[in-house]
């Protein structure tokens, strides 16, 4: 049965652990409940906020509207041949649990994306990525339901307009559609992506010379656990800022002043910089003010040590942006959604 609660605390539903409240709250565990919710008077009466795993959001105030948490579960094989398989996962599936399950079935392709917090339904919105692999490289199609008329549509990969931490779901479809399932194209014969040095070094330390996909997952998990705080222990939303991309001219100027600046050559002659390095060079790594701070092992991660508010975390983020702009002339863009 569909239940709508009032004055609901959202602290358990965001990985920063920010204690704000929603005027109305509803958790969807079956797709039919979403259709029921669309018939409720509250659905049209109040602003709507769709919530997945709450791992990429910073609440700065109470939500004066209806928060709908998508918690549908389910995963199944759609089709397969000798080389590839299409696997469909419901939006409410925990992302890392799904990655682990896919590897248990003998399907590779998602191992580099291990231990990223959040749910399957949120993953295309952000086009999550790590260690040289982005979600767009593995998505076959995304199923959505339009909130205005409950119409269902299947978007092919090209229709999602994936970009660096970007997609159509952050633009034209923002607030207009809900993702209900994602279908992934995975491989039965692995093609491992080990270009990022951190993975190769970790595998070497593990004594593995001929890695299988599960070994890559183990290496990625080890790296992330060593560098990133567990949000169930210390409130955070993972990387708070995007890695900035600058022109070749701007990079030539910067590298002339900072010869050790890490960079990755991109298409069209641009260069991607490591936001964490920029932040660390400005002296922020490990900084703490009360219950808000920058993680001691990864400067990209802002943390809530206990009772920090969203506005306190946002203030720190703004100060970091200002200092990086002043020192390097580079604008940092927030990866986390601010509400």
Look at residues 306, 303, 339 and name the one whose alpha carbon lies nearest to residue 320.
303
HSE (CB half, 13 Å, CA atoms) of 93? 24
Q: Does residue 335 have an active-site annotation? A: yes
d(CA 68, CA 70): 6
Active-site residue identified among 165, 217, 222, 224: 165
Q: What would you report as the CA-atom Rg of the chain, rounded to the nearest whole angstrom?
A: 21
Look at residues 114, 104, 35 and name the one whose alpha carbon lies nearest to residue 72.
35
d(CA 161, CA 125): 10
User: And the tokens for 173?
Assistant: 């479809």
Q: Does residue 21 have an active-site annotation? A: no
Look at residues 21, 87, 86, 13 and name the one whose alpha carbon lies nearest to residue 51.
13
Task: Please name the residues in contact with 83: beta carbons below 8 A apart, sequence gap of 6 or more.
Answer: 187, 188, 189
Helix extents (H) in 38-189: 41-45, 95-104, 123-126
Q: Does residue 114 have an active-site annotation? A: no
How far from each other are the two terminal CA atoms of the chain, in whole angstroms?
Answer: 29
Which residues participate in catalysis according to the annotation?
165, 239, 335
């Amino acid at each position: 049965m569909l239940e709508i609660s009032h004055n609901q605390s959202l602290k358990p539903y965001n990985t920063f652990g920010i204690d704000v409240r929603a005027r109305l709250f509803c958790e969807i565990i079956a797709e039919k409940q979403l259709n029921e919710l669309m018939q409720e008077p509250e659905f049209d009466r109040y602003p709507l906020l769709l919530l997945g795993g709450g791992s990429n959001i910073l609440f700065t105030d109470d939500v004066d509207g209806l928060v709908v948490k998508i918690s549908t579960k389910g995963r199944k094989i759609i089709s397969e041949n000798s080389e590839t398989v299409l696997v469909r996962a419901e939006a409410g599936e925990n992302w890392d649990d799904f990655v682990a399950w896919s590897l248990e079935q003998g399907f590779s392709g998602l191992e580099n994306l291990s231990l990223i917090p959040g749910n399957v339904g949120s993953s295309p919105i952000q086009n999550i990525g790590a260690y040289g692999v982005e979600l767009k490289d593995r998505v076959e199609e995304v199923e959505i339901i339009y909130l205005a008329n409950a119409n269902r549509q299947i978007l092919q990969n090209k229709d999602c307009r994936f970009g660096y931490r970007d997609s159509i779901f952050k633009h034209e479809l923002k607030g207009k559609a809900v993702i209900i399932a994602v279908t992934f194209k995975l491989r039965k014969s692995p093609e491992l992506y080990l270009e990022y040095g951190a993975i190769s070094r970790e595998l070497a330390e593990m004594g593995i010379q001929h890695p299988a996909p599960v070994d890559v997952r183990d290496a990625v998990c080890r790296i992330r656990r060593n560098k990133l705080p567990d949000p169930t222990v210390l409130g955070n939303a993972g990387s708070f800022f995007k890695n900035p991309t600058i022109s070749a001219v701007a990079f030539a100027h910067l590298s002339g002043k900072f010869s050790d600046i890490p960079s990755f050559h991109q298409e069209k002659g641009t260069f991607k910089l490591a936001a964490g390095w920029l932040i660390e060079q400005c002296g922020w790594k490990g900084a703490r003010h009360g219950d808000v701070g920058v993680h001691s092992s990864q400067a990209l991660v802002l943390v809530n040590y206990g009772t920090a508010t969203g506005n306190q975390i946002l203030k720190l983020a703004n100060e970091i942006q200002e200092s990086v702009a002043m020192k390097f002339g580079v604008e940092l863009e927030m990866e986390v959604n601010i509400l």
